[in-house]
Structure 1
Amino acid sequence: MNPTQLSLALSAALAAAVTDGELALDADQLPDAVHVERPRQREHGDWATNIALQLAKKAGVPPRQLAELLAARLRSTEGVASVDIAGPGFLNIRLEAGAAGELARTIVDAGEAYGRGDAEAGKKVNLEFVSANPTGPIHIGGVRWAAVGDSLARVLEAAGAEVTREYYFNDHGAQIDRFARSLLARAKGEPAPEDGYGGQYIQEIADAVLADVAAAGDPDPRTLPDAEAQEVFRAIGVDRMFGEIKAALHGFGVDFDVFFHEDALHESGAVDRAVARLREAGHVFESDGATWLRTTDFGDDKDRVIIKSDGDAAYIAGDIAYYLDKRERGFDEVIIMLGADHHGYVGRMMAVCAAFGDEPGRNLQILIGQLVNLLRDGEPLRMSKRAGTVVTLEDLVDAVGVDAARYSLARSSADSSIDIDLDLLARATNENPVFYVQYAHARTVNVGVNAAAHGVVRDAATFDPSTLAHPTESALLGALTEFPRVVAQAAALREPHRVARYLEALAGSYHKWYGECRVTPLGDEDVAPVHSARLWLNDATRQVLANGLRLLGVSAPERM
């Protein structure tokens, strides 16, 4: 019996009590679903609910009396071993071993579908993340968003949402100008401009631009006037840099559905259309020769200039047009992931969302990520050999590999700063969280191989879930039951780290079970039903570990 089935049994008990006149409630006063959860202390039972406390006032009876009424009906439900009442009216429910153990076959039969649901079904979500400027390699902050963003996309899809992964390609503005000037200076053998970019990668890109130009038979840009030369380095250099960014992300297991060019907003007239739309709604005004958006009407701390007095669009104008563009492309929810230095962006963009008649926090959601500190030998790692200033995606992957990098960045809440110990991630010990989880999966595979060698097989016809009665088996089954709820919650809260923390707890339950229960016979023992049942449980655990790791974009190795 899974939590959904237990919830339905409780709902049926409530409905029957109303029909029989035992409960003075109307049918429409009953909840659509009864929430059940794991007790904090497992000795209290397999599941618990506070439904009696929730409905007692409406029913006009003490909570414990209502709990007694429900308990009496629930005790006759197939698969329920006992129902106890605790405190003011909590119901603690213990399942029969067979009812609990049946979950193992359910998971194996479901395969990759176990854990997937429809909590987010019908939602068309645009998820924008990373969006690093194409002026250099992706630094560690952007790498965190790559890991978290891609994991969130996977979790949302598992919960039923239709997700588009989008990268905002900033190819418009002063940063690109500085990048082009830096390339030109390096090509000429001159020092980088005071406001320019340094690092070995600038020399590499500059050399690549010169090689491309030569291969095409075009004039050496160093012989052209600076303005013309700068445009050559801008056009080819930005394309080269962005190609490197895409390749690095792909190697990290992150691919995007859409690369949206900022230039397109200005060239297509999207900014003018967005401003006109807001003007028609009465939210735009003129002052001091500039055009303003009255964002204070929607909670912002001050009104915002959208068209400057010189006629140029302010930076926020592009953001306004981009948001409207996403909504006009049919996305119900727009999720944007931003770095720690973008807190001031939230209020003004939520005001923009409201000015368009949308619901802040639903149609527009902004997630702010905090800093990542890399440590080696206990000391902060600050410099990249190639970038010269910051630690990059390639630096992290070179140090610990893709799996450890992705897992370590995705296992903590994005709104908290984290320290990542590179030495720890390189160790094959249980202190290393990714090793701990991956080793559990590899162990399940090895157990399966040994079982086959000893003649232990999964036979649905003879599967006896009631033999899974050891306390560690009850605990492991309880952990496996939680996976669909964890995935749904991670999607609803936009917190994929919940999946990682769940996997670590599941791995712990599995390792304890492995130490207490044998899947293969000992010595000359015959293969018994309990051995087959335990193989079902072992393989169910393997499936859930693999499904969870897949949501994080991390491999599930068969050998370690």
Structure 2
Amino acid sequence: MTPETLAEKVLSATRDAFEALGLDTAVLPAATAVERPRDPSHGDYASNIALQTAKKAGTNPRALAERIAEHLTSTDGVAKVDIAGPGFLNITLDAAAAGEIAGKIVAAGPAYGDNGSMSGHEVNLEFVSANPTGPVHVGGTRWAAVGDALARILRASGAKVTSEYYFNDAGSQIDNFTASLLASAKGEPTPENGYGGPYIDEIAAEVVARRPAILDAEDPQEEFRQVGVQLMFDEIKADLDSFGTHFDVYFNEKELHDKGELDAAVARLTALGHIYESEGAVFLRTTTFGDDKDRALKKSNGEWTYFAADCAYYLDKRERGFDKLVFMLGADHHGYVGRMQAMSRAFGDEPGTMEILIGQLVNLVRDGKPVRMSKRAGTVITLNDIVEAVGVDAARYTLARYSSDSPIDLDVNLLTSHKNENPVYYVQYAHARTASVIRNGAERGVETGDSYDPALLSHPRESDLLKALAEFPAVVATAAELREPHRIARYAEELAAAYHRFYHDCRVLPFPDEETTPVNLARLWLVAATRTVLANALGLLGVTAPEQM
């Protein structure tokens, strides 16, 4: 029995109790939930539905809990219900009902964990979005891991998700980048505010190789812009692809200008009554919606501001049909939150339509000391530096393992060690161990077959593992709701720990001179279920689930 099924039974028993007591069932919630108590001696699951509804119904919560318990105890799969404190329900399942979850997981396979908590939502998830002026740096690498994992989690929760990369191949940063390429090609020093590092020399040399006469062109910097920016962006895409991060849409800010979308956004905001002019400039009255000052959209000289493009881009996304817009920004963008939220409200959208997640800094350390900067980029640690140091799996897992609003240190020594202290190794090893058990069983002719007796999974370690497995769909739903992929990683570690304890205390396969018993088969089903859930959890993080280690 899954927690979701049990919750439905609790609600049904509560409705029966209400009707028996002559209470108004209209006060009952549409759905409820059960939780695992901290103390296993208190039962398998707990519910506070009597406390939630008694006051509304005008009755005593403990008395109501007693009536709910009477109805719930007669439900198939429930062994007993105890009342605790003012009206908590502590529920114990019978072994067969608890053990059924292993079969359900094996039958569901890769779909186990999928849920409908985000069904009906169309989500635009934008992350990384670095301009093509250099390799993806460590901050962008964190978003590459977290953003991609979040996209997977949202899809598993029923949302229709479009992952998007927003970039700009114009503006001062690109001017400085192309000026740096031209200077390198000429053998001149890096210009003021330019970009340095061997990658600039490499791209400049490639541009010259492709266009040998480029230095004699009428406007060589524009020539370098056309070729060099594309080369840099192709490299960014290739690096992200090798990291396992893929985007559905690459959106260029230039499209907004070419299609007249900035003018359209201002026209929409003007019609809504939120635009005014002052000293020749055009402003959006964002203070009406909580911003600390109004924001300029067009300067007095007629130039558009960056914020005008933000407004147009936001409106473009909404007109593409997205009802949830999630922007993942770096630690230096805290100041953007207020103005962006105010802009969303100015367009008439409700709070929650747009979400802004801010990622904190990442440090790469070895032997307790910061790892020196990239040789190639010259000034920053890049995605490739991290992958070279610890590998794709360790990098993705660790970057997604922590709440994105917390700074983290990537310990090279820890993440390359084959020890239980290394979280990604610990989880991957648990999966490899499940695969080994199943493989060894098949070699000896011990396989799961078509069925098992779930009532035989009654050992305390088996019960703990079953409860952990049953929680996975709810963990995925919560990670989606809170936009917190790290919950999947922490769950995977807890599940791995539960499996290692089970493996230590409960022999799965018979000894070579023993007959295979129904207990062996039931435990093999439990191993297969654990293998499935570990693989699914790692898959949501974009991390491989190895069969051998």
TM class by shorter chain equals over 0.9
Is 2:21 the counterpart of 1:28? no
**Which 10-residue stretch deviates more, 472-481 or 48-57?**
48-57
Matches within 5 A, 1:153-232: 153-214=151-212, 220-225=213-218, 228-232=219-223
Q: What is aligned with 1:217?
A: none
Deviation track 1:498-528 (CA, whole Å, cap 9, x = no partner) reads 0010000000000000000111113522111
Distance in 1 separating the partners of 2:177 and 2:511: 68
Opposite residue 14 of structure 2, the aligned amino acid is: L
SS at match of 1:94: strand
**Which 10-residue stretch deviates more, 297-306 or 74-83?**
74-83
**Which 10-residue stretch deviates more, 68-77 or 99-108?**
68-77
Q: 1:415 aligns with which of 405, 410, 423?
A: 405
Q: 2:388 aligns with which of 392, 395, 398?
A: 398
Q: What is aligned with 2:521?
A: 532
Distance in 1 separating the partners of 2:398 and 2:32: 36
Deviation track 1:269-316 (CA, whole Å, cap 9, x = no partner) reads 111110111111110001011111100000000001110010000110
How many residues align structurally? Answer: 549
Q: What is aligned with 1:482?
A: 471
Question: Is the contact made by 2:27 and 2:57 (CA closer than 8 Å) also made in structure 1?
Answer: no
Distance in 2 separating the partners of 1:287 and 1:202: 43
Q: Report the RMSD for the aligned CA atoms in angstroms.
A: 1.0
What is the CA-CA distance between 1:540 and the residue it aligns to?
Answer: 0.1
Question: Is the contact made by 2:169 and 2:254 (CA closer than 8 Å) also made in structure 1?
Answer: yes
Distance in 2 separating the partners of 1:170 and 1:183: 18
What is the CA-CA distance between 1:16 and the residue it aligns to?
Answer: 1.5
Q: What is aligned with 1:67?
A: 65
**Which 10-residue stretch deviates more, 262-271 or 506-515?**
262-271
What is the CA-CA distance between 1:267 and the residue it aligns to?
Answer: 1.6
SS at match of 2:334: helix
What is the CA-CA distance between 1:61 and the residue it aligns to?
Answer: 2.3
Matches within 5 A, 1:370-389: 370-389=360-379
Q: What is aligned with 1:510?
A: 499
Q: What is aligned with 1:19?
A: 19
Q: What is aligned with 1:137?
A: 135
Distance in 2 separating the partners of 1:206 and 1:257: 29
Is 2:537 the counterpart of 1:548? yes
Question: Is the contact made by 1:148 and 1:409 (CA closer than 8 Å) also made in structure 2?
Answer: yes
Deviation track 1:436-483 (CA, whole Å, cap 9, x = no partner) reads 00000000000001222333221334x111111111000000000000
What is the CA-CA distance between 1:138 and the residue it aligns to?
Answer: 0.4
Q: What is aligned with 1:440?
A: 430
Distance in 1 separating the partners of 2:449 and 2:238: 46
What is the CA-CA distance between 1:234 and the residue it aligns to?
Answer: 0.7
Opposite residue 268 of structure 1, the aligned amino acid is: K
SS at match of 1:260: strand
Q: What is aligned with 1:305?
A: 296
Distance in 1 separating the partners of 2:317 and 2:240: 23
Q: 2:320 aligns with which of 329, 342, 345?
A: 329
Q: 1:468 aligns with which of 450, 453, 457?
A: 457
Opposite residue 10 of structure 2, the aligned amino acid is: L
Question: Is the contact made by 1:320 and 1:352 (CA closer than 8 Å) also made in structure 2?
Answer: yes
Q: What is aligned with 1:249?
A: 240
Opposite residue 407 of structure 1, the aligned amino acid is: Y
SS at match of 2:547: coil
Distance in 2 separating the partners of 1:356 and 1:58: 39
What is the CA-CA distance between 1:222 and the residue it aligns to?
Answer: 1.9
Q: 1:150 aligns with which of 148, 151, 175?
A: 148
Unaligned runs of 5+ in 1: 215-219
Question: Is the contact made by 2:366 and 2:412 (CA closer than 8 Å) also made in structure 1?
Answer: yes
Question: Is the contact made by 2:508 and 2:524 (CA closer than 8 Å) also made in structure 1?
Answer: yes
Q: 1:492 aligns with which of 481, 491, 495?
A: 481
Distance in 2 separating the partners of 1:514 and 1:57: 46
SS at match of 2:409: strand
Question: Is the contact made by 1:376 and 1:422 (CA closer than 8 Å) also made in structure 2?
Answer: yes
Q: What is aligned with 2:10?
A: 10
Question: Is the contact made by 1:292 and 1:307 (CA closer than 8 Å) also made in structure 2?
Answer: yes
Distance in 2 separating the partners of 1:458 and 1:481: 20
Distance in 2 separating the partners of 1:321 and 1:450: 59
Question: Is the contact made by 1:454 and 1:520 (CA closer than 8 Å) also made in structure 2?
Answer: no
What is the CA-CA distance between 1:19 and the residue it aligns to?
Answer: 2.6
Is 2:269 the counterpart of 1:278? yes
Matches within 5 A, 1:339-378: 339-360=330-351, 362-378=352-368
What is the CA-CA distance between 1:15 and the residue it aligns to?
Answer: 1.7
Is 2:449 the counterpart of 1:459? yes
Question: Is the contact made by 2:24 and 2:57 (CA closer than 8 Å) also made in structure 1?
Answer: no
Distance in 2 separating the partners of 1:224 and 1:435: 55
Opposite residue 226 of structure 2, the aligned amino acid is: A
**Which 10-residue stretch deviates more, 10-19 or 125-134?**
10-19
Question: Is the contact made by 1:382 and 1:389 (CA closer than 8 Å) also made in structure 2?
Answer: no
Opposite residue 232 of structure 1, the aligned amino acid is: E
What is the CA-CA distance between 1:118 and the residue it aligns to?
Answer: 0.8
SS at match of 2:350: coil
Question: Is the contact made by 1:454 and 1:521 (CA closer than 8 Å) also made in structure 2?
Answer: no
Deviation track 1:151-210 (CA, whole Å, cap 9, x = no partner) reads 000000000001001000111210000001000001000000111000000000000100
What is the CA-CA distance between 1:28 and the residue it aligns to?
Answer: 1.6
Distance in 2 separating the partners of 1:85 and 1:11: 16
Distance in 2 separating the partners of 1:371 and 1:103: 40
Is 2:263 the counterpart of 1:265? no
**Which 10-residue stretch deviates more, 341-350 or 61-70?**
61-70
Deviation track 1:480-502 (CA, whole Å, cap 9, x = no partner) reads 00000000000010111100100
Question: Is the contact made by 1:338 and 1:368 (CA closer than 8 Å) also made in structure 2?
Answer: yes
Opposite residue 452 of structure 1, the aligned amino acid is: A
Deviation track 1:202-261 (CA, whole Å, cap 9, x = no partner) reads 0000001001113xxxxx222245xx1110111100000000000000000011111101
Question: Is the contact made by 2:17 and 2:64 (CA closer than 8 Å) also made in structure 1?
Answer: no
